[in-house]
Structure 1
């Protein structure tokens, strides 16, 4: 517990100034976090980080996170979707020359991971570019849902939410975490004028809170599939970057679909 607290304090001391400053600071942070997260997927799959497929997938992930304006010098037909597809083609070509050490299933996993991690951190930057309060609204939903679910589940949890994937989570904790997050975040949104529609922002908060828990379960199922306790060890006591950002990577794109940024 002491190690977890120390790591959390150090992380917040670094993380909070970055999200407050925004701009290039958060862009660089998002690139670094995305690169580490993709590396964690590769290590779970036991793919060497110096292999061609690792290099392609990490670069593809960083490309998705990067600012579109960086590629304004390219011809119009080279849009971001097309360039990303070139990374996918590179993975497919790698299959041919890997002597069966890298196959189509592996390429599919890495492509999905690039999209999941790359687009998630891209939206992290996009939310901050709209405004600090918008990003804080999303972050508070994730953090409060997680904290509320832990505290309420520990006290009142009886019915397992998903015993095969995450045996410690309960329905009571899940519902309680959502209620806590929705109440506090709705007040925050109205106070900071993220939205003036009380009903609308409440519904959005409910959906995002549930999405955050789904993101947590998705990453838990990934770890169970690969037989690891944590996605990485970069954060002592907390695991890896994917362990800390799993909920956010799903919440941010859904928040974008709702038009929050």
Structure 2
């Protein structure tokens, strides 16, 4: 527990100031987190980090994470979608050149991982660029849901939520965590008018959707960790695991905030 607390404090001392500063320093941090998260997927699949498929994956995550404006002045490219298509093609081509050491299933997993991680961090940076209240709304929904689920699960948990994927999660914890986040965050943000473009009812609806989505993001990551037979996605954060372990919910919540129209 001591190591876990120390790691959390150090991480927040680095993360929060960069979140406040934003712009290039935050973008660099976001790109680093995306690359590390991709390396965690590669290690789970036992793929060497200097292999052709790994290098394609890293470039793909970086390309998708970068803000849309980055591509506007680059000839023949114009958007990350074109870069992603080229990289997906190269990933498929590698199944031929690798002589069965890298197959179609591997290419599919790597391409999906690029999209999953890159899109999540892309919209995380976009949310921060819109303004601190916006990104903190999503982050606090995730954090409070997670903390509430842990406390309610410990105190009242009896019915398993997804025993084959995450045996410790319960329906009581899940519902309790969501209720706490849905009650607290929209009321506070509405009271202080931190998101003045939205009324309390809209914030409540957003909170319900994002709280549920965050828990689904957690279960998704638990699912592929169980598939690959690992406890944590990585060990870069002592006591917490890897970047995917800490940002699994965010990778789902941030793109969903864009779909809901919260990111402009």
Normalised TM-score (structure 1): 0.97
- Measured after TM superposition, the shift of residue 78 of structure 1 is 4.3
Give the Cα–Cα distance (whole angstroms) in 2 for the partners of residues 145 and 209 of structure 1.
Answer: 6
Give the Cα–Cα distance (whole angstroms) in 2 for the partners of residues 147 and 80 of structure 1.
Answer: 35
SS in 1 for 2:249: helix
- Structure 2 residue aligned with 1:260: 262
SS in 2 for 1:167: strand
- Measured after TM superposition, the shift of residue 76 of structure 1 is 5.3
Give the Cα–Cα distance (whole angstroms) in 1 for the partners of residues 230 and 153 of structure 2.
Answer: 24
Structure 2 counterpart of 1:237, from 227, 236, 239: 239
- Structure 2 residue aligned with 1:214: 216
2:67–2:126 contact (8 Å) kept in structure 1: no
- Measured after TM superposition, the shift of residue 75 of structure 1 is 2.8
2:71–2:77 contact (8 Å) kept in structure 1: no
Give the Cα–Cα distance (whole angstroms) in 1 for the partners of residues 87 and 123 of structure 2.
Answer: 20
Give the Cα–Cα distance (whole angstroms) in 2 for the partners of residues 54 and 138 of structure 1.
Answer: 30
Structure 1 window deviating more from structure 2 (166-175 vs 66-75): it is 66-75
Give the Cα–Cα distance (whole angstroms) in 1 for the partners of residues 104 and 198 of structure 2.
Answer: 48
Give the Cα–Cα distance (whole angstroms) in 2 for the partners of residues 36 and 83 of structure 1.
Answer: 20
- Structure 2 residue aligned with 1:138: 138
- Structure 2 residue aligned with 1:148: 148
Closer/same/farther in 2, CA of residues 47 and 187 from structure 1, 3 Å limit: same
Q: How large is the RMSD of aligned CA atoms in angstroms?
A: 1.1
1:133–1:192 contact (8 Å) kept in structure 2: no
Structural mapping, 1:109-124, within 5 Å: 109-124=109-124
Give the Cα–Cα distance (whole angstroms) in 2 for the partners of residues 242 and 192 of structure 1.
Answer: 32
- Structure 2 residue aligned with 1:165: 165
After TM superposition, which residue ranges in structure 1, 4 or more long, deviate above 3 angstroms?
A: none
- Measured after TM superposition, the shift of residue 82 of structure 1 is 1.3
1:137–1:188 contact (8 Å) kept in structure 2: no
SS in 2 for 1:161: strand
Give structure 2 stretches of 5+ with no counterpart.
Answer: none
- Measured after TM superposition, the shift of residue 201 of structure 1 is 1.1
- Structure 1 residue aligned with 2:193: 192
- Structure 2 residue aligned with 1:9: 9
Give the Cα–Cα distance (whole angstroms) in 1 for the partners of residues 79 and 162 of structure 2.
Answer: 41
Structure 1 window deviating more from structure 2 (181-190 vs 45-54): it is 181-190
Q: What is the CA deviation profile of residues 145-174 of structure 1, one whole-angstrom value per residue up to 9, with x for unaligned ones?
A: 000000111001111111010010110100
Give the Cα–Cα distance (whole angstroms) in 1 for the partners of residues 84 and 228 of structure 2.
Answer: 26
Normalised TM-score (structure 2): 0.96
- Measured after TM superposition, the shift of residue 223 of structure 1 is 0.3
